[in-house]
Amino acid sequence: MAGYTLAELALHLGCGFVGDGETRIVGVCTLFPGLPGRVSFLANPAYRRLLGRTEAAAVVLNEADSPSCLVPALIAANPHLAFARLAELFAPPRRTEQGIHPTAVVDQTARVHPSAQIGPHCIVEAGAEVAEAVVLGPHCVVAESARIGPHSQLVAKVYIGPGVSLGSRCVLHPGVVIGADGFGFARDGERWVKVPQLGAVRIGDDVEIGANTTVDRGALDDTVLEDGVKLDNQIQIGHNVHIGAHTVIAACSGISGSTVIGRRCMIGGGVGMNGHLQIADDVVITGMTMVTHSLHAAGVYSSGLPVDDNRRWQRNVARFRHLDALAGRVRHLERSQTAPMDPEAAEEGPDA
C-alpha cells in the first residue's frame, strides 16, 4: 500500500508524534467521521468533542489537545498549516500536455515557451508572452502584450487583458477577469463620458484568485496585487487599487478605486470599501463591514449588526428612527443640569 508512515510524516513536517510511528497514511480526511488510513486535523477547539469519535488513522493537533485523542497524532504548533502541507503530499499531480491545442489561436508574434500548455479554444494575441510550464485551460484569452509568468495556471475561461503582467506560480480559477476597464466616467450634463482606462494590472508571484473575481485595469497608473495575495470568489477590485503582499480577501467583497491596502491584511466576506482609502498593514476587517474612512493602525475593525429575531429587530429599527430626537433631549437635559443658578433666586432660598 502506498503512502507514508506517521514517523515519515512527522519528519516531513519537523514535528513530534504520539502513538504507533508505523501507522500508514494514504490520504487526508475530515475529522468526523474520518476514514481509516487517512489523517485529519483539529484546529478549532469547538470540534475537540469529535476526537473520541473519529475513524481517522491519525490526527494533526497541538500538544494541549493530544490527551483527548484516542488515535495516533502528529503534534504541531499550527495544526491547520501542518495539515495543509500534508494535503500537498497527497494531492494528485496536475496533468499537463505540452504544446498548443489544434483549436487554439496563437498570434505569430506571441512568445509561447515549448513547455507551456495552450488548451482548447484559447487565444493568445500579438506580443503576448506565455512562460515556462504555464497551463492555459480551455477558452482562456491572453490579450495583446500581456505576460504570464512561469508555472502559472489559468484554469478555464480566464481573461487576461492587454498589457497585464502575471507573476510566477499564480493560479486563476474559472471566470476570472484581469484587466477589464475600470469604472471611469465624467459627467457632461445629463450624460456620462467614458474616461479611457490607460493603465494595466501588475500581479506578483504566488497569487491565487477565485472564480468570477474581477480586477480592473488602472485609469492611468496600474492596479497592483503584490506577492502572495489571495482573493476568494466573486470579488471586485476597482481601478488603481493597490493590495499589499500576503493580504487575503474573502468572497463578495468590493474594493473601490484607488484604495491602498497594506500587507498581511485579512478582509472578511462581503466587506465594502470606499475609494481613495489607506488601510494599514496587519489590519483585520470582519465580514460585512462597510469601510468609509482610512484605517491607519493595525487591529481588528467591524461594523454592521448581527442577525436577530425578526420581531425584536423590527422594534429596534423603530427605535433607531427616534435616536436623533432622543440625543437632542439628552443634550437639553445635560445643559439644564449644568447651567449656572440665578444669583437672585439663590439668595431668596428654596421657600421664595
User: Catalytic site residues?
Assistant: 239
143: amino acid identity, one letter: A
DSSP line for 203-263? E-SS-EE-TT-EEEPPSSS-EEE-TT-EE-SS-EE-TT-EE-TT-EE-TT-EE-TT-EE-T
249, β-bridge pairs: 231, 267
**Residue 294 in contact with residue 312, Cβ under 8 Å?**
no
Which residues have a Cβ under 8 Å from the Cβ of 148 and sit 6 or more positions away? Answer: 128, 129, 130, 131, 134, 136, 142, 154, 160, 166
Length of the chain as a residue count: 352
Which residues have a Cβ under 8 Å from the Cβ of 232 and sit 6 or more positions away? Answer: 210, 213, 248, 249, 250, 251, 252, 253, 269
192, β-bridge pairs: 187
Mutual angle of helices 79-90 and 6-13, in 10-degree steps: 120
**What would the grid cell of residue 319 be?**
427605535
Q: What's the CA gap between 292 and 282, in Å, rounded? A: 18
